[in-house]
Amino acid sequence: MVAKPGLDGHDRGAKVVARALRDAGMEVIYTGLHQTPEQIVETAVQEDADAVGLSVLSGAHMTLFRRVLDLLAERGASDIVVFGGGIIPDADIPELAQLGVAKVFTPGASTESIVQWVRANGRRTVGS
C-alpha cells in the first residue's frame, strides 16, 4: 500500500513508486492525497497489507510516521512493515528507525531499489 498522509499535495513520487511496485507484479493500493493516519491504518488493516509506504514531503514526517505506527500497534497490526520516502533529513532517519520505520528512501533512490527492498522485507512474501 502507498499512502500520502497529511496536507502535502505533491504525489508524483508516490504514484511513481506505486506504478513500479505494480509493474513488478505486486498488488498495490494507492490511497490518494490528504489521508489521515487513521484512514491509512484502517485501509491497511482492511486490505491485509503486507507493507505501507508513506510519502511525506511536508516536513511532518516525525509526527505522521509515529502516529501510523502507534495506530498499527493499537490495531494489533504491528507486523505490517512501514517504510517511507520523501524530503526527510538524514539526521531524522535514525530516530524514525527507532520508532519502527523499516526503511526510508530519500530523493534519488531508484524504483528498482525500492521494489527489491519491498520484495525482501514485506510482512509476507509480497507479490505472491
What is the secondary structure of 37-75 as a DSSP string? HHHHHHHHHHTT-SEEEEEE-SS-HHHHHHHHHHHHHHT
Beta-carbon contacts of residue 128 (< 8 Å; ≥ 6 apart): none
Cα separation, 46 vs 22, whole angstroms? 19
pLDDT digits (tens, 9 = 90+) for 54-113: 999 989 999 999 999 999 999 999 999 999 999 999 999 999 999 999 999 999 999 999
For residue 125, name the pLDDT band (cuts at 50, 70, 90): very low
- Domains along the chain with CATH numbers: 2-121 (3.40.50.280)
Residue pair 64/13 in contact (Cβ under 8 Å)? The answer is no
DSSP letter string, 77-115:
-TTSEEEEEES--GGGHHHHHHHT--EEEPTT--HHHHH
Set of cell numbers at residue 117 = 527492498
Q: Span 17-33, mean pLDDT?
A: 97
For residue 123, pLDDT over 80 is answered with: no
